[in-house]
Amino acid sequence: MLRNPLLVPSPLFCLFALAAALSPLPSVHATSPLEVQLRFQRPVTGDSDAFAAVNRNETWNPSETAIIVCDVWDYHHSPNAVGRLQEMLPRLEKVLKSARQQGITIIHSPSDCMDAYREHPGRRRAIDAPQAANQPADIEAWCSAIPAEEQAAYPIDQSDGGEDDDRAVHAEWARKLTALGRNPNMPWQRQNAGISIDPNRDYISDRGNEVWNILEDRGIQNVVLTGVHTNMCVLGRPFGLRQMARNGKHVVLMRDMTDTMYNPARWPYVSHFEGTRRIISHIERFVCPTITSDQWLGGKPFRFVGDVPGNHQPERNESDTLPKDHWQLVTVQDPSTSKAAAGQPQSYRCVVRMPERWFASKTDDPGSTVRVRFKNRDNVRLWINGAEQAEVTGDSQDRLFMVSQDVVAVGDANLLVVQSSGSIAFQAPLIETGHETLTLAGTWQMKQGHDPALTTMPLPAKFGGSSDIVFNAADPLWTPRAVTRKGDFTTGIEGPACDRDGNIFAVNFDKQGTIGKVTPNGIATLFAKLPEGSIGNGIRFAPDGTFFVADYTKHNVLRVDPSSGEISIHAHHPDMNQPNDLALAPDGRTLFASDPNWSDGTGNLWRIDGDGTVSKIAEGMGTTNGIEVSPDGKTLYVNESKQRNVWAFDIGKTGSLSNKRLIRHFDSHGFDGMRCDVQGNLYITRHGKGTVIKMTPKGEILKEIPVLGKRPSNLCFGGPDRKTIYVTEVDSQRLVQFRVDQPGRE
């Protein structure tokens, strides 16, 4: 007869519990700093398929650190998952006790179980935390993918729910749960009793907004995720790794205090523990670093008893492919670019997050109508979350389907399945609302045939879908998101500028004197090393793809050929203090450079002609920094960081300056980089305030956008429509982005 492993402790559990009780906790004073070693993986070159592990030592302030315990429930629908959790519990409890002793905040997040804690002081403490002024958009929602994952092949197939139980044992377990009055599919009601909750210090919440409020109220920057299950809840919950990473927290996974839902009977047909390792590898590459529990407790990292070295395949085998009878990854093209040939009848699936704004509350609002459009006349059928959608009749040359809101998980992930006859090459459909259009061009999964079973999956899409087939609607305007990981660059991070393909270039990647290249989805690699002794600052691209770098230590403007990587001196003048930032005139040849002297609080301006001739065009100013040319090429803007002034000059036909005038003076916080949009509005970083302002040419402030750190240094426009602003942020040494309403002039 199957025992309830959470009601009847096993000998193994008792052994772990006894060891935990008898082992002394480390005596660490509450104010002692935490010395941690993070592990992450970085692309070896620009080829994102080859990665190398990197370790980085950091010192954390315990008062700025929190541990989140994710979904360590009292019961689970999988008995194997229960057994593994039972084995891990004593070690996790010991980690939390040690963390409390060190002054670390503990947040217990057993999802769907808040009713059990309505009167608990930890629950009340979480509810009463003051609402944060910087609460991120969609922080209450599940997050199925962040941009860095979108181009990565997800390492396991979890679409069956990941249960690796013997069928007979699973059936007996389900009967046991039913007899206990539990729902066999969702039997959890509270956190596992093996994890203690300190009523005087800990917090209890499964809501993303509440967890965010706690973190902000306590000034927490470092967030450690523990618990289960790594590939589903730990990654995706509103308080999970993805939400913390994209919204700017320094989040890490404690990789030996977690477990996955993975069934070795599914691709890539490796052991359960190897499947977990592959998920951890995916996280280290595309989401966040990891640490281990021995950094808190000493000794060795935790390892499950069944995870015996030699009983699994190599950690990563890039040659693994799906057999033909399984779902294959395919690239589905936009109709305007598709050249694919017709094929066999096939089923295609992807996951789409459908935000609340797509479904207006008023039925007469066009936003209340959501349709899927296929720009061809092929015979296609459409399912959303297993429910077939009705085709719109009429005289349209396209195939149109209504999206029934009754079957949609609004604000969440949805499974979209298309079955195509194959008479015409399958092309990416479009989702249309009254307000926006989302083209589903990119990675889908495909399988031959029209079996009705292919139109659904056992679990909701947010659990069963893999991150590589997720499509997200654009973020709301002015929403800051982290692009790269904390520490990818040095505190000298500057630049930035975008090439025609949307890649972002910024200086001082990993080390001073370098240039980093960041793909639009946030994968950062070393692009070039500058000549010995040179350190870059501002970057600008010329129309031919060449870009220029202000070399402030050698008084140069460097020219970089992006194809060959060749670096040459475009301009030099020994009387330059630096130069600092650059602006490019609409002629694509003439550069302007700011030139501060920080020690004296003074600065100059220089013009660099297309042939490299350098001319001083203004002197005796304050600490000149951000610099930009108006869209019509007639006005040069420059700001002074220490004096907090923004000036404008008329640009003459010969490149001379005249009619100097003050646009605006600010009473606090300095300036740094500056750019114009096509309407002439200025975007300026507020160094020390942690914002970017949008200001008219006359000095009226239209918007102020937080950028996930106090010291933004520079910014540029990018993205396919030039409506994405990328900001270099010094405190976290990373890129941050947000969407705007008008494209940049560049």
Alpha carbon of 474 to those of 112, 151, 241: distances in Å? 28, 17, 20
Q: Does 372 lie in the same domain as 281?
A: no
pLDDT of 10 > 80? The answer is no
**Phi and psi of 299, rounded to 5°?**
75, -140
Specify the number of domains making up the chain. 3
User: Mapping DSSP to helix (H, G, I), strand (E, B) and coil, where does residue 625 land?
Assistant: strand
Find the domain containing 282 and state its range.
11-297
Enumerate the H helices of 389-539 as residue ranges.
461-464
- Which domain CATH number covers 360? 2.60.120
Q: Does 492 lie in the same domain as 430?
A: no
What confidence tens digit (pLDDT) does each residue in 366-379 have?
Answer: 445 899 999 876 78
**Phi and psi of 168, rounded to 5°?**
-65, -40
| Residue 197, domain member (yes or no) | yes
Q: Does 357 lie in the same domain as 292?
A: no
pLDDT of 22 > 70? The answer is no
Helix (H) or strand (E) run with residue 172 in it: helix 167-179
Q: Does 561 lie in the same domain as 422?
A: no
| Residue 744, domain member (yes or no) | no
Cα atoms found within 13 Å of the Cα of residue 273, Cβ hemisphere only: 16
Describe the strand order of the beta sheet including 657-665 as a list of residue ranges. 624-629, 635-640, 645-651, 657-665
Q: Does 338 lie in the same domain as 288?
A: no
Nearest to 467 by CA among 443, 446, 486: 443
Task: Report the pLDDT averaged over residues 532-559.
Answer: 97
Q: Does 445 lie in the same domain as 388?
A: yes
Per-residue model confidence (pLDDT) at position 477: 96
Of the pLDDT bands very low, low, confident and very high (cuts 50, 70, 90), residue 361 is low
Per-residue model confidence (pLDDT) at position 527: 95
Cα atoms found within 13 Å of the Cα of residue 593, Cβ hemisphere only: 32
| Residue 447, domain member (yes or no) | yes
Cα atoms found within 13 Å of the Cα of residue 632, Cβ hemisphere only: 10
E strand segments, 169-282: 203-204, 222-228, 250-259
Residue 602 and residue 615: Cα distance in Å, rounded?
18
- Which domain CATH number covers 681? 2.120.10.30
Q: Does 549 lie in the same domain as 458?
A: no
425, 454, 472 — which closes off a domain? Answer: 472
Q: Does 120 lie in the same domain as 64?
A: yes
Residue 496 and residue 716: Cα distance in Å, rounded?
6
SS percent in the chain: helix, strand, coil, step 5: 15, 35, 50
What confidence tens digit (pLDDT) does each residue in 603-649 have?
Answer: 999 999 999 999 999 999 999 999 999 999 999 999 999 999 999 99
Q: Does 357 lie in the same domain as 291?
A: no
Task: Report the pLDDT averaged over residues 678-687.
Answer: 97
Q: What is the per-residue DSSP string for 577-622?
A: S----EEE-TTSS-EEEEEEETTTTEEEEEEE-TT--EEEEEEEES
Q: Does 293 lie in the same domain as 422?
A: no
| Residue 169, domain member (yes or no) | yes
Q: What is the per-residue DSSP string for 232-265?
A: IIIHHSTTSHHHHHHTT-EEEEEEEEEE----TT
| Residue 527, domain member (yes or no) | yes
Residue 637 and residue 38: Cα distance in Å, rounded?
42
Helix (H) or strand (E) run with residue 96 in it: helix 79-101
Q: Does 445 lie in the same domain as 496?
A: no
User: Mapping DSSP to helix (H, G, I), strand (E, B) and coil, where does residue 506 land?
Assistant: strand
Q: Does 506 lie in the same domain as 465?
A: no
- Which domain CATH number covers 44? 3.40.50.850
